Amino acid sequence: MTVPSIKAAGPALQAVQFRQPGGPVSRLAFVQEVERFRNHLKGKLRGYSPVKPPVVLLYESNSFAFAVRLFACAAENCTVLLPPNGQTGTLQELGKMADYGLGEVADSAALPNLEPDPRQFGSGQEAVQDDPPNLAWPDSPQLVFFTSGSTGQPKPVVRNWGQLNTEIQILEGLFGNRSCQAVLATVSHQHIYGLLFRLLWPLWRGNTIESTFEYPEHLATSLQTYSSAFIVSSPAHLTRLSEDNVLVPHKDRLASIFSSGGPLADATAVRLCRQLDMPVIQVYGSTETGGIAYREVEKQPAPGWQPFPGIRLQQDPESGRLCLSSPFIDADWLLLDDQGQVQQDGRFLLAGRSDRTIKLEEKRVNLDAVEGLLKQHDWVADGHILILEGQRMQLGAVVCLNDNGRCQLDFMGKKAVNECLKQHLLSKFERVCLPRKWRYVKQLPFNAQGKLMRAEMENLFEQTD
């Protein structure tokens, strides 16, 4: 299954493809910018063998600049590494796997920089040409995403453009009949969900692609400028939106709302449906598996998940975990970390994860990885990260300080020590993934069998900070 090329002919080229802080960028200007960047890469990458293509680490927060670099790299047969965030520690670690850096990685990763003279690129202005270039949609190079994996170390996940193109066709077949002028998103294009839903699929359809929105008020303001729009968001943003829904006055402009990156509570989904007169389309999948299923919750009890075309699931009788058969994985059947139950009509229910990799807000974080980095701090002898359940899931840290750490605690106070440890964790983890509550103990509570006693650690957090 292939995706048609972006054609450099016809009135559609004059449509706004990206709307950036510096102004609108037409589809033609995007095509021309990719061609200019591709020619720049040709000179920089001369001499590479097609058998061993160059590996480029790409992190760029601006969607237009990111798309230009991504398509130019694909056209020059580069393998592109997409880090999950722009934290210095993350870029330094993943930079060891790359030959070059591109985008906003120059100051963090010790790599030869492929960025050109900024005076030659990034203007988004159309050049006058009698015969504008064509842009063939990528179909062969590889993209490498990274997840925390079960060991807590960054785990590379290789996806090829053919798989992504198939997913685009699936999305178009399921949801493409809905009128959409623009795509408004609160999620990053550096992750598989954001890359597909807020960049590649709308780019293929010809929708206007907006900058990332952080606050619902900004989302509402932009929504008023379009006759119809998709919103691509996450459970964390949608939960906050449901508490004070500023989109209600403009709900007639909404074509669809998508949510992925973690579970959206059924009660929140029902509340949003009542507020906006449309159900949220929840998408279930992962970087490793690609898209798996979707559902639309209008009222409780919530329906099961409907597998995407070509997807099959069954339940492992011993563990209760789901097994997946998909065109996006190499194995015949893949045992997932999610437990669930398959219904007679082929839909399925989810019953929670079975490992220590969790989704916190829309971010995927491995608790072992957080613990491992915490223990590397000079003041820490031991530590444990646990999930604290409540109105919103958050993390708690139980920390055993060494002699130096205890001296610092006595001298600086708890709040200052908390901040020092948070700054240490920020080298690899985004702030949303950090523990919100901290407790300091002389030693971690182990039982006679050498097992940590979770109940005792949870009791530490019953007292207020």
Q: 381 near 445, Cβ under 8 Å?
A: no
How far apart CA 218 and CA 131 sit, in angstroms, is: 39
Which pLDDT value is given to residue 9?
Answer: 52
Query: Is 448 a residue whose pLDDT tops 50?
Result: no
CB 73 within 8 A of CB 141: yes
Question: Looking at 275-284, 307-316, 326-335, which range is the least confident one?
Answer: 326-335
For residue 203, the surrounding DSSP H or E stretch is helix 201-205
Same domain, 265 and 414: no
When pLDDT is cut at 50, 70 and 90, the band that residue 365 belongs to is confident
User: 3-state SS string over 43-80?
Assistant: HHCCCCCCCCCCEEEEECCCHHHHHHHHHHHHHCCCEE
* Phi, psi torsion values for 323, nearest 5 degrees: -115, 135
At 102-137, the pLDDT tens digits run 999 876 678 899 998 776 665 566 665 556 666 778
CATH of the domain at 70: 3.40.50.12780
Higher pLDDT, 117 or 82: 82
Asked if the structure places residue 388 within a domain, the reply is yes
pTM (two decimals):
0.81
Q: Edge-to-edge strand order for the sheet containing 348-353?
A: 312-315, 321-325, 334-342, 348-353
**Where is the domain boundary, 318, 353, 388?**
353
Q: How confident is the model at residue 239 (pLDDT cuts 50, 70, 90)?
A: confident
Query: Is 396 domain-assigned?
Result: yes
Residue with the larger pLDDT of the pair 52 and 193: 193
Check residue 131 and give its pLDDT: 61
pLDDT bin (cut points 50, 70, 90) of residue 1 is low
Query: Would you mind telling me the total number of residues written for the chain in this entry?
Result: 465
Please answer whether residues 30 and 133 qualify as being in contact, where contact means their C-beta atoms are separated by less than 8 angstroms.
no
User: What average pLDDT is seen over the chain?
Assistant: 88
Does 258 share its domain with 280? yes
| Run of H or E including 460 | helix 454-460
For residues 306 and 394, state if they share a domain.
no
Asked if residue 373 and residue 327 are part of one domain, the reply reads no
Do 273 and 179 lie in one domain? The reply is: yes
Question: Of the spans 138-147, 332-341, 365-374, 420-429, which averages the highest pLDDT?
Answer: 420-429
**69 and 127 co-located in one domain:** yes
Q: Which residues on neighbouring strands pair with residue 349, listed in sequence order?
A: 341
At 90, is the secondary structure helix, strand, or coil?
helix
Residues 144 and 156: their CA atoms lie apart, in Å, by 6
**Residue 449 pLDDT level (bands cut at 50, 70, 90):** very low
pLDDT band at 173 (very low <50, low <70, confident <90, very high): very high
Tell me whether residue 23 is in a domain.
Answer: yes
Domain of residue 407 covers 358-460
Contact 418, 459 (CB under 8 A): no
Same domain, 324 and 429: no
Residue 181 in domain: yes
C-beta separation of 363 from 393 below 8 A: no
Whether residue 335 is contained in a domain is answered as: yes
248-277 mean pLDDT: 92
DSSP at 129: -
In a domain, 4, yes or no: no
